[in-house]
A and B are shown apart, each in its own frame.
Chain A
């Protein structure tokens, strides 16, 4: 046990250098900061924008429009609307922009001088010209949420349109007359995964599951790629510096050396993965926090035993990745060669990540399903959704497969450490002298 701990400590000191810790923390902080930025942008959108209103018209329909705008703001237009003096009407564009800047607004609605007259003509059945509202924009937001401000103004104009039309149609409930048919959200009944979800649309369900569908695959891919890179590079370094040769001649069992490398890399990978997880949590939380339906609303939650299964699956996936990497690492000659061997493990992690993020495993063709099942990293990526949706076959089959796979990888690794292959590579038959000498060196 002392030898094992000695090896684990050495691995951790080698892997968790100040440079590697700082670089991981910086990436995690960037994710967190991106999440914070997106969150603040989302928060801004939840507050109605302050707008300016300018009119060249003093007619009744404009007066009505003022009331509709106040209604749109829930009776609080005094807080969000700046009514411009009508003397500005017809001013040059740069003068209007200057006034918008002075008033600290980025949107100005300008009602045309003929606004009321045109609508009155339509109401009287003689007009064909609509009442025009021009919109001035400044400080255009080119970010992801840039389109949202124009959508809100579009909604406001649509609201004014509906209310104006209703007043023209007349009657006790003109809004009802305009849309006599309704399909309220509460009347949506969705059958999903053998359960009945009343009041939820398929969009609500897939939206709620989306945060899990994205977070877990990305996290698993990052951990696997990171751990794989670490251990293959560590093996490359050991071979290049011949520290592995020294290590193998010490009075310590080969299984202990293998376990020390596996556990040291696994601990380092989990610590770095946890740092990423926190950053990713803030990022994804801000992206999906706008959804109105949460997993708990749908009764899709994990029990304590479910979390144990998730943890076991992640642990086994890490062991499998480490096993594959130690086998690959056994054939590298130096640090540089090790870098190229991280590609297979990255590809193996990325394929299930993209598939589980954008497709439903159960609807894939059988051959594709089998190929994905064979990749050990697929299972922890799907396990949370499978547990929540009650797909116990996939959970237990995945867990069993992962246990067998990781045990086989560790067995092969120990066998390699007990053989000549670690130092000599694979022997070639006669007639392959070039490769032969490259494997065995000059002795």
Chain B
């Protein structure tokens, strides 16, 4: 399988502060890759760079064969980024929000089909025509997941997708992520929920202090640290540093 994402020696400085320090990893087509690490480790900065939101200080990133420095516009056509705690435009209805987003990817009938897909994924019933301001957190998250998936991205970048959601909503959203990966979409996600990472991810990378300190499948990492959960891997790796 080809690589959907290749990150090589990526560094990012904010003024004098080194937020990301020469990290490297890759995500294959249809693979779910989880980025874990303590607060302030550099996960969100890494996701933002890959999403073309922030510039990198050093290193290289390729998404679907396109180089970040030379072809950011092409990269934006094949990714979907869902930030942590993101919201939607509160004065739009769910349907109007999906229409607004779809028009950036396609026109006419293509956009209509995309919106229909989005409505199916969001599964909000009649509430799709209610204003976003009236949605619960779970409903908003479903709408945003639908927005991120409906254009058919090659790489979905999801930051803390189930943060703050109840058990049912979190379960359903994880199910959606599994199903899009089965359809060939590569997923790069970051999460503090080690159970979620263990359940969802094909491979895991752990960042601490801006550096990639671990990488492997959940079973490889559990075996390496001789523990039974990814949470214990996290604790042991964090203590070791």
Contacts and interface: CB of A to CB of B under 8 A. Distances in A.
Partners in one complex: yes
Interface of A: 2-3, 6, 9-10, 13-14, 17, 237, 240-243, 245-246, 248-253, 419-420, 423-424, 427-430, 436, 440-443
A391 to B, nearest CB: 45
B81 A245 contact: yes
A252 B86 CA distance: 19
B53 A443 contact: no
B53 A423 contact: yes
Contacts of B88: 241, 243
Interface in B81-108: 81-92, 96, 100-101, 103-105, 107
A253 B72 CA distance: 10
B interface, how many residues as a size bin?
Answer: 35 or more
A249 B86 contact: no
B52 interface: yes
B76 interface: yes
A250 B76 contact: yes
Contacts of A424: 14, 54
Contacts of A248: 52-53
Contacts of A246: 81-83, 86, 147
Given A10-B100, A241-B87, A248-B53, A443 B76 contact: no
Nearest to A238: B89
Contacts of B14: 424, 427, 436, 440
A345 to B, nearest CB: 23
Contacts of B82: 246
Interface stretch (B23-31, B43-51, B219-227, B229-237): B43-51
Contacts, number: 101
B29 to A, nearest CB: 20
Contacts of B83: 242, 245-246
A6 B53 contact: no
Across chains A and B, which 8 residue pairs bring their CB atoms closest together, nearest first?
A427-B15, A241-B87, A443-B44, A242-B86, A249-B81, A251-B76, A251-B77, A242-B83
A429 B15 contact: yes
B70 to A, nearest CB: 15
B185 to A, nearest CB: 16
Given A245-B86, A424-B14, 4 more contacts: A2-B107, A241-B89, A242-B84, A249-B52
14 contacts: A2-B103, A9-B100, A10-B89, A10-B100, A242-B85, A242-B86, A242-B87, A245-B51, A248-B52, A251-B73, A252-B76, A419-B55, A427-B16, A443-B42
Given A13-B96, A17-B91, A245 B53 contact: yes
B98 to A, nearest CB: 12
Which of B15, B40, B42, B43 has the most chain A CB within a 10 Å cutoff? B15
A251 B51 CA distance: 11
A14 B53 CA distance: 24
B92 A13 contact: yes
Contacts of A249: 51-53, 76, 79-81
Interface string B30-73: 00000000011111110010011111000000000000000001
Contacts of B81: 245-246, 249
A430 B42 CA distance: 18
A251 B89 contact: no
A443 B41 contact: yes
B118 to A, nearest CB: 14
A236 to B, nearest CB: 13
A428 B44 CA distance: 20
Nearest to A443: B44
Given A253-B73, A443-B40, A14 B89 contact: yes
Which of B14, B40, B73, B90 has the most chain A CB within a 10 Å cutoff? B14
B104 A6 contact: yes
B54 A423 contact: yes
Nearest to B96: A13
Given A245-B83, A251-B104, A420-B55, A10 B92 contact: yes
Given A249-B53, A252-B104, A427-B14, A243 B87 contact: yes
B133 to A, nearest CB: 10
B173 interface: no
Contacts of A252: 76, 104
